[in-house]
Structure 1
Amino acid sequence: MTISHRIAIQHAAAEAASGVPGVAALQPALGDRLALAASRACQAVSPEVAPPRETVGIRCEHTRDDEWRVEVRCILCADQRVVDVARRVRDEVHTAVSGYLAQQGTAEHLTVQVTVTRTL
């Protein structure tokens, strides 16, 4: 799979997760924040470098076993049951990413992990 597939999967997952009632925001991991800061610094030094396409709170990887692993880090609203919202996020992201993979003609295994970082 190419980088564009990874970006498309991240965007599909981010849209699906953000649309779930009870999700206040998606939260980037520390590594994502550092990578974004480094790419902004690189762009400041070399303006011809394309700006990064930021997908906050979503990390995905493609394993050697043709499996996609998608991690969603989210902040939830405190007025709803965390476990219910997290399950719905997992289901919606799984449906969205599976749909994208089906459009690409691949039937790869998909694992979605939801991490709730805090509630508001």
Structure 2
Amino acid sequence: MTSAQARDIQRDAAQAALAEPGVAALQPTLADRLAAATAAIRPTERSTHLPAAVRVERLTATPGWRVEVRCMLHPGHRALDVARRVRERVRTTLTSNPTRQVDRIIVQVTVTATATRGRASA
């Protein structure tokens, strides 16, 4: 696995998850917060930070990828329904790219919180 492949998959998975209705944001981690703080200090530098809420790893037993997406929901959305739709959207996005050869892809979605008035509650 090249790091470029993993970054492309991570970026595409994050965009697909965020495009699903009901998803408020990807779960921020300490790395995300540090990247945002750095961007605020040095606004002229372009950030290439990808959200840590999307993890990508190459499967070792069989050819393919494992993608984990951690997201927060808007209020009023059922976690199970949104998680299923996110999983399907991410899988479809990653397998429909003709330049990417994907033998097998496993997508795991975890809903970590529900956003309420700009804040998240666990």
What interval of TM-score do these two structures reach, taking the shorter chain for normalisation? 0.7 to 0.9
Structure 2: which 5+ residue stretches go unaligned?
39-44, 116-122
Structure 1: which 5+ residue stretches go unaligned?
41-49
In 2, distance between residues paired with 1:75 and 1:33? Answer: 15
Provide the alpha-carbon RMSD of the alignment.
2.2
Question: Going by fraction, where is helix more abundant, 1 or 2?
Answer: 1
Q: Which runs of 4+ in 1 moved over 4 A?
A: none
Q: Is the Cα contact below 8 Å between 2:13 and 2:94 reproduced in 1?
A: yes
1:85 and 2:82 equivalent? Answer: yes
In 1, distance between residues paired with 2:12 and 2:3? Answer: 14
In 1, distance between residues paired with 2:28 and 2:59? Answer: 22
Aligned residue in 1 for 2:42: none
In 2, distance between residues paired with 1:67 and 1:29? Answer: 26
Between the two proteins, what is the percent identity of the paired residues? 44
Deviations 1:33-84 (A, max 9, x none): 59x66xx6xxxxxxxxx97632211001002221200000000112111111
TM-score normalised according to structure 2 size = 0.75
Q: Is the Cα contact below 8 Å between 1:74 and 1:117 reproduced in 2?
A: yes
TM-score normalised according to structure 1 size = 0.76
Map 1:47-58 onto structure 2 (within 5 A). Answer: 53-56=48-51, 57-58=53-54
Map 1:58-73 onto structure 2 (within 5 A). Answer: 58-64=54-60, 65-73=62-70
Map 1:1-120 onto structure 2 (within 5 A). Answer: 1-29=1-29, 32-33=31-32, 53-56=48-51, 57-64=53-60, 65-100=62-97, 102-104=98-100, 106-120=101-115
In 2, distance between residues paired with 1:79 and 1:27? Answer: 18
Of structures 1 and 2, the one with the larger relative CO (CA 8 A, separation 6+) is 1
In 1, distance between residues paired with 2:64 and 2:29? Answer: 22
